Amino acid sequence: MSKDDEAGHNEPFPPSFATTAELAEQGWFVEVILTSDSQNETVFFAVGVNAASDAEVAVLRYPGIEPRDGRIAKRKLSSEEIAHLKLWRGGVRPFGRAVREVYLRKPKEHKTSEAGY
């Protein structure tokens, strides 16, 4: 866990995370698994920073995301995606939501025919 991960929501983020009115040069698609959520909700973000590790930390600025939530930068955004999303440098935007339910799987039972074969 980096020093940035330990920052509270009210503490300032490094200057590289400052949002500007310019489109981001690079961006990342970040998956966040809300570990505090009993429904195992996964939320996705588009983040306008250059480094994957910075993108994983930058999502902490979004309300409801906490340092204990799982965060992983899945892939770089293309310049077309950045333009389409109007993703500003340093910006953090929700990209979509999906709820994943986890079920305990029972082992498959072998069925026997009634004839006893």
Q: What is the pLDDT of residues 20-69, one digit of tens each?
A: 678 999 999 999 998 876 777 889 999 999 999 999 999 999 888 889 99
Rounded CA gap, 17 and 58, in Å? 7
Answer with the residue of higher pLDDT: 103 or 43: 43
Token pair 């999303």 in the structure block, residue:
85
pLDDT the model gives residue 37: 61
For 22, phi then psi, to 5°, come to -110, 145
Q: Sign of dihedral through CA atoms 24, 27, 30, 36?
A: negative
Token pair 């009993």 in the structure block, residue:
38
Distance from chain centroid for Cα 117? 52
- Asked if pLDDT for residue 17 goes beyond 70, the answer is no
pLDDT band at residue 9 using 50, 70 and 90 as cut-offs: very low
Q: What percent of the chain has pLDDT over 70?
A: 63
